[in-house]
Amino acid sequence: MKKSNKILLSLFIIVLAGGIGVLAWLYLSQRQELNEMVEQMTIEKEELREEYEDLAIQFDGYQQMDIRNDSLQDLLSREQQRVHDLLEELRVTKATNARRIAELKKELATLRTVMQDYVRQIDSLNQTNARLTEENIRVSQENQQLTRNNEELTQSNAQLSETVSRAAMLEVAGCTLTTLNKRDHKTRMAGQIRKLQFNYTIDKNITCPPGMKDIYIRVTDPEGTLLNEDSTHLFHFESDDIPYSVTQQIEYTGETCEAVCYLALDETPMKGFYTIDFFCEGNLIGSFPIQVRK
């Protein structure tokens, strides 16, 4: 090969190598720029996603509020759903889809404007509700005060009525017990006791209307069992009908009254304390513990 040809071949190889180097450099440079562009677009997509999520949180927060306006509530619900739909679309959209990413940015700006308008409406509604609430509180407080005044007046009247009723109520001042045998003679022998005699005194009370009074007596033994209980022997006391052991009718004149009542026994009484309760006109007018000894 001639020397000139060798020189030309060497120059060709050098030029070719240089060209390949330039092409390689251009390829790597463009590849780097493309990677940087994709990375930047990915960052922009992530930032856009965060902005959508923030807006979704704002809509969710307003949905939790007590907005007393059905139309506004419906509009908020629709826009809230739209934000969630676009956020989901953004998640599946490729970062390299620049056109759709740009469209979603515009959608975000529109949604923010809508949100600001809703915020103004909600604030205005809240201010109105606050004024109404304040007015309702004032009226409620006034009504509560009126109710308290009425309750106090009612209570005062009730207390006055109760005082009058108590003042007119009979009262048994004392009671003694005598145990009798079958011949109505006094006895202390337990096996012979067949009847109990109650001597009691009703105090003087000029405020109590005079007339015939029904006295109901309940006698309970030491175990709390009512003596001579009969389901047909009932009287009214505190909104209920309860049984009595014995009853008698007396004529009350307003002066001190002495009375005697007898209770026949079905069986020999047990040893211990018996409770004697006296009732008249729906009131408990006396209660006495009396001991039976054997």
pLDDT of residue 230: 86
- Tell the residue number behind the tokens 């001579």, with chain if given: 228
Q: What is the DSSP letter of 203?
A: P
| 76 φ/ψ angles, rounded to the nearest 5 degrees | -60, -40
Domain positions in the chain are 3-128, 172-292
* Residues with Cβ within 8 Å of residue 196, at least 6 apart in sequence: 177, 178, 179, 180, 219, 262, 263, 265, 269
Q: Is the pLDDT reported for residue 1 higher than 60?
A: no
Give the strands of the sheet with 172-180, arranged side by side. Answer: 172-180, 195-202, 257-264
Assess contact for 240 and 211: CB atoms under 8 A: no
| 144 φ/ψ angles, rounded to the nearest 5 degrees | -65, -40
Q: Is the pLDDT reported for residue 290 higher than 70?
A: yes
CA–CA distance, 222 with 275 (Å, rounded to integer): 8
Question: At residue 230, what is the residue type?
Answer: D
With 0-12 CB in 10 A as exposed, 13-18 as middle and 19+ as buried, what is 105?
Answer: middle
3-state DSSP of 101-169: HHHHHHHHHHHHHHHHHHHHHHHHHHHHHHHHHHHHHHHHHHHHHHHHHHHHHHHHHHHHHHHHHHHCC
At 111-160, the pLDDT tens digits run 778 777 777 777 777 777 778 778 888 888 888 888 888 787 667 665 64
Ranges 28-32, 158-162, 164-168, 231-235, most confident: 231-235
Structure tokens at 165: 């009723």
Assess contact for 106 and 89: CB atoms under 8 A: no
CA–CA distance, 240 with 242 (Å, rounded to integer): 6
Assess contact for 215 and 280: CB atoms under 8 A: yes
Mean pLDDT across the chain, nearest whole number? Answer: 80
With 0-12 CB in 10 A as exposed, 13-18 as middle and 19+ as buried, what is 275?
Answer: middle
Taking the mean position of all CA atoms in its chain, how far away is CA 265?
54
pLDDT of residue 172: 92
CA–CA distance, 261 with 214 (Å, rounded to integer): 12
Determine the straight-line distance between the first and last CA of the chain, rounded to whole angstroms: 158
Domain 172-292: give its CATH code: 2.60.40.10
Least confident residue range of 141-150, 194-203, 248-257, 277-286: 141-150
- Using only the alpha carbons of the chain, give its radius of gyration: 51
pLDDT of residue 163: 46
